[in-house]
Amino acid sequence: MYPDYMAESLQKVVQTRAARLELARKPDPVYPPMDAAERRAVLEGFHPDFETSARRNVRVGPNKGDSLTTEVSELLESHSWLNSAQVDLSKPDFETDLLIIGGGGAGCNAALIAMKEHGIRSIIATKLRMGDANSMMSQGGMQGAVSRTDSPTRHYLDAIGGGHFENKPELVRALTEDGPGVVKWLEDLGVVWDKETDGSMKVMHGGGTSRKRMLSCRDYTGAMIMRTLMDEVRNHPSMIEIKEFMPAVELIMDDQGQCAGAILYDMESEEFFTVKAKSTLIATGGYGRLHIRGFDTTNHYGATGDGLVMAYRAGAKLMYMDSVQYHPTGVSFPEQIAGFLVTEAIRGAGGQPLNKDGNLFVYPREPRDIEAAAIIRECAQNGGGVPTPSGRVGVWLDSPLIDMLHGEGYTDKHFPAMYRQFIRYGIDIAKLPMLIYPSLHYQNGGIEINERCETDIPGLYVAGEATGGLHGRNRLMGNSVLDYNVFGQRAGRYAGAYATQVKLGKLSLAHLDKYEQELADSGVKTELVTPILLPSYAPKDVKKRQLMRGGNSLPGASVLQNRLFDEGPGA
Ligand code: MEZ
């Protein structure tokens, strides 16, 4: 339940509701959408990316001199867990055609396509369990231009507009043109899409979409897709080997500059294993757990940007690493679930963002960055937010309107995940609004790829949230789900083809020595060891006493530290 002091504000929401319901029943927008100048102003004034301390130049690596999100620059200016001289690459522990790092949607798609189209074997190495990934957690839907009034071209234009015209066009073209095929592939595998009574796809609007294009499985869309993909992966144990709780900690190269696999770390036994692979796919997802600018996050616990740092040390270029997506509607209260996602589909179905006086202050379906910045402005500049007991702030998202617009029981039926997320805390979202605030949701930038998921490094492929360029500087709802399917498949296709013809040379970790030297030459002094693998939520005084550098919470960190620093090279 909400604390008593919020009752007055809740009362105001009730008082303004009848008039807002009338507005929502009319075809016109319930609040004037912003024009280009207003959008620019709210972004520059209130989007966290535009704060002066949000960015700084990175001092090492392929993007040296570029202005990146400050936390990303810190992540990249860090030491490896490994001392190259101590790793024996002469007898790999495992060999495979395709090594897939990451057990989310992109990784599953890639393994399946590589097997089906090229008959090649894969290892999927994942930090936690299969499906512990943002792919599993997406709620409201996947975009796909399948309805009669839509087309991949319209989808393309929406995605480019949403991304502020900075998307890589060839990637957007691949996304939107492959979209309808992906919808069918998933349905053939067993995904049960929401349908209308005549059997056609149910389609909804998302922020920035000019046509209803959001396909859903209630608000469990990611979970439904991932369960289906994982089942299919597990149906082929002789072709696709799964290694859980075994994150990659570095890529392996060969003496001709080709990627040749990775070093895995067994989180249980604390052993390292070398995997030699003809091609390697990074599908490690995003970095929400870096809690950029102190924001809560919608992301799963393993989202620590591991793929970025491994690829960067090996020489891959990053793009748009100054751009972060804050989902407009993360939970602000109850605080036990602060930061959790409140799907954009709630606004698609008629939910309205309101200030503490119960008034609309923004069109509910602006593109995400605009909507998030407008909510931050309402709280920071206009004093329109409702404070929470722990010092957070939020605005109301008036969800009871949904049943009023679509009929009693609609919310429970169409948003079962959301309904359950709040009812556990005594909040019935069909009767009471939710208190929300922007939450760190998505890494807009990432490792640069082309439409075949190739990087600058032969044999290294990347797909899904770890990549940059597709979404420009702002992703639209539902395009990440499509992204991990489309580009997961493309990665399987092209990395698979590459694996059938490549000849690998002598394995090497010389890139780590080079990177360490560059850190020293650039005067970088840091205690941070990456990949982070898991975020640390230990209080500062505990962190100080932990036997590791940089407060990383890896179970075997003390052992790793000893290997790295106490034993001399070659020991
Ligand atoms: O694409 C997303 O981020 C998504 C589907 C989230 C949501 O609001 O449900």
What is the C-alpha separation between 344 and 330, in angstroms, rounded?
Answer: 10
Residue 310's nearest CA partner among 352, 266, 345, 259 is: 259
pLDDT, one tens digit per residue, over 310-322 is 999 999 999 999 9
**Test site for ligand 1: of 341, 346, 365, 415, most ligand atoms within 8 A of the Cβ:** 341
In this prediction, residue 542 has a pLDDT band, given cuts at 50, 70 and 90, of confident
pLDDT at 545: 72
**Test site for ligand 1: of 226, 343, 399, 470, most ligand atoms within 8 A of the Cβ:** 343
Please tell me the distance between residue 454's alpha carbon and the centre of ligand 1 in angstroms: 26
In this prediction, residue 556 has a pLDDT band, given cuts at 50, 70 and 90, of very low
Q: Is 121 exposed, middle or buried (0-12, 13-18, 19+ CB in 10 A)?
A: buried
Residue 149 pLDDT greater than 80, yes or no: yes
In this prediction, residue 539 has a pLDDT band, given cuts at 50, 70 and 90, of confident
pLDDT at 530: 95
Active site residue 511: no
Point out the least confidently predicted range of 447-461, 506-520, 530-544: 530-544
pTM of the model: 0.94
Active site residue 148: no
Residue 567 pLDDT greater than 50, yes or no: no
What is the C-alpha separation between 552 and 291, in angstroms, rounded?
Answer: 14
Compute the radius of gyration of the chain from its Cα atoms.
24
Mean pLDDT for 272-298 is 97
Mean pLDDT for 9-27 is 98
CB of residue 141 inside a 6 A radius of ligand 1: yes
CB of residue 92 inside a 6 A radius of ligand 1: no
pLDDT at 538: 81
Residue 4 pLDDT greater than 70, yes or no: yes
pLDDT at 568: 36
pLDDT at 461: 99
Residue 550 pLDDT greater than 50, yes or no: no
- From 17, 155, 205, 347, the catalytic residue: 347
Ligand 1 atom, smallest distance to 441 CA: 3
Is there a contact between 89 and 252 (Cβ–Cβ < 8 Å)? yes
pLDDT, one tens digit per residue, over 471-495 is 999 999 999 999 999 999 999 999 9
pLDDT, one tens digit per residue, over 396-426 is 999 999 999 999 999 999 999 999 999 999 9
pLDDT at 110: 98
CB of residue 172 inside a 6 A radius of ligand 1: no
Please tell me the distance between residue 143's alpha carbon and the centre of ligand 1 in angstroms: 10
Mean per-residue pLDDT over the chain, rounded: 94
Residue 449's nearest CA partner among 465, 437, 433 is: 465
Pseudo-torsion of CA 29, 35, 36, 39, nearest 10°? -70
CB of residue 140 inside a 6 A radius of ligand 1: yes
pLDDT, one tens digit per residue, over 289-304 is 999 999 999 999 999 9
Residue 565 pLDDT greater than 90, yes or no: no
pLDDT, one tens digit per residue, over 184-237 is 999 999 999 999 999 999 999 998 999 999 999 999 999 999 999 999 999 999
pLDDT at 562: 37
pLDDT at 566: 38
Mean pLDDT for 424-435 is 98
Mean pLDDT for 493-515 is 98
Please tell me the distance between residue 286's alpha carbon and the centre of ligand 1 in angstroms: 14
- Run of H or E residues at 393: strand 393-398
Mean pLDDT for 551-558 is 43
In this prediction, residue 441 has a pLDDT band, given cuts at 50, 70 and 90, of very high
pLDDT at 547: 59
CB of residue 443 inside a 6 A radius of ligand 1: no
Residue 132 pLDDT greater than 50, yes or no: yes
What is the C-alpha separation between 164 and 118, in angstroms, rounded?
Answer: 38
Neighbour order of strands in the sheet with 446-448: 318-319, 446-448, 467-468
pLDDT at 548: 53
- From 20, 327, 441, 493, the catalytic residue: 327
User: Which pair of tokens denotes residue 359?
Assistant: 């008034």
pLDDT at 333: 98
pLDDT, one tens digit per residue, over 253-270 is 999 999 999 999 999 998
Mean pLDDT for 560-564 is 40
pLDDT at 433: 98
pLDDT, one tens digit per residue, over 78-115 is 999 999 998 999 999 999 999 999 999 999 999 999 99
Q: What percent of the chain has pLDDT over 70?
A: 95
Mean pLDDT for 148-175 is 97
Angle, helix 105-118 to helix 479-501, in steps of 10 degrees = 40
User: Which pair of tokens denotes residue 108?
Assistant: 């599953």
Residue 396's nearest CA partner among 299, 476, 477, 328 is: 328
All residues at 6 or more sequence positions from 192 whose CB lies less than 8 Å from its CB, including other chains = 217, 224
